[in-house]
Amino acid sequence: MITTTTPCIAFEGERQIAAGPLAYVAVMVREAVLRGGPGPVLVYDAETARPVEIDVRGSVAQMLQRIPVGETAAADEPVKRGPGRPKLGVTAREVTLLPRHWEWLASQPGGASVALRKLVEDARKAGGPKDERRAAQEAAYRFMTAMAGDQTHYEEATRALFAGDAGRFEAAVADWPQDVRVQSERFAAKAFA
């Protein structure tokens, strides 16, 4: 969930105009929109490169009130405790498996739920660096597609990104506008690590 403290970056056209917590970036974006600059004003989550929508209508205070402050509103409510098992944020969902999988899960100590949680945690630990690299590639690709999709050597840069070739990537983005190039390289750095 996006909150006032989520790190974000904002661009006006090809020029970066702000970076920092969303509350700060939102104020800078509002100023740019009201000024009516030359290019569109776009905001991205600084970790995932997902676009962030900001409603700049009204005063700064009104604008900031529309951005959530905490993780969820429910987190601020007092926790009511009663008899029974504590709620641990468990979400019930449906899983489709073959009968032999259900038989194996049922035979595990603690039952199917415990076995599935252990399997998921083991997979998360084993895939950590690989998952982080994939997430970094996706973030860089998302940003590059939005901000540099029409730049020279865009296709070469994306091929180098997914091939893990940092040198070829840097050569492909060398002629891009400075702020777009710097952010593309920042997002891609984790993919090449």
Q: Is residue 103 part of a domain?
A: no
Quote the percentage of the chain above a pLDDT of 90. Answer: 60
Domain end residue (candidates: 16, 38, 65): 65
DSSP track, 10-61? EEETTEEEEEEEHHHHHHHHHHHHHHT-SS-EEEEETTT--B------S-HH
> With bands split at pLDDT 50, 70 and 90, how would you rate the model's confidence at 73?
very low
Report how many domains make up the chain: 2
- What band does 72 get if pLDDT is binned at 50, 70 and 90? very low
118-132, 156-170, 177-191: which has the minimum mean pLDDT? 118-132
The verdict on pTM exceeding 0.85 is no
Residue 45 belongs to a domain:
yes
pLDDT category of residue 85 using cuts at 50, 70 and 90: low
Which domain, by its residues, includes 27?
7-65
Domain boundary, last residue among 44, 65, 86? 65
pLDDT category at 102 given cuts 50, 70, 90 is confident
What DSSP string runs through 50-78? -B------S-HHHHHHTS-SSS-GGGGSP
Q: Is 159 a member of any domain?
A: yes
Average pLDDT across the chain, whole number: 88
* Residue 16: φ, ψ to 5°: -75, 130
- Edge-first strand order for the sheet with 15-21 is 15-21, 7-12, 41-45
**Within-domain flag for 105:** no
Structural domain includes residue 152 = yes
Banded pLDDT at 78 (limits 50, 70, 90): low
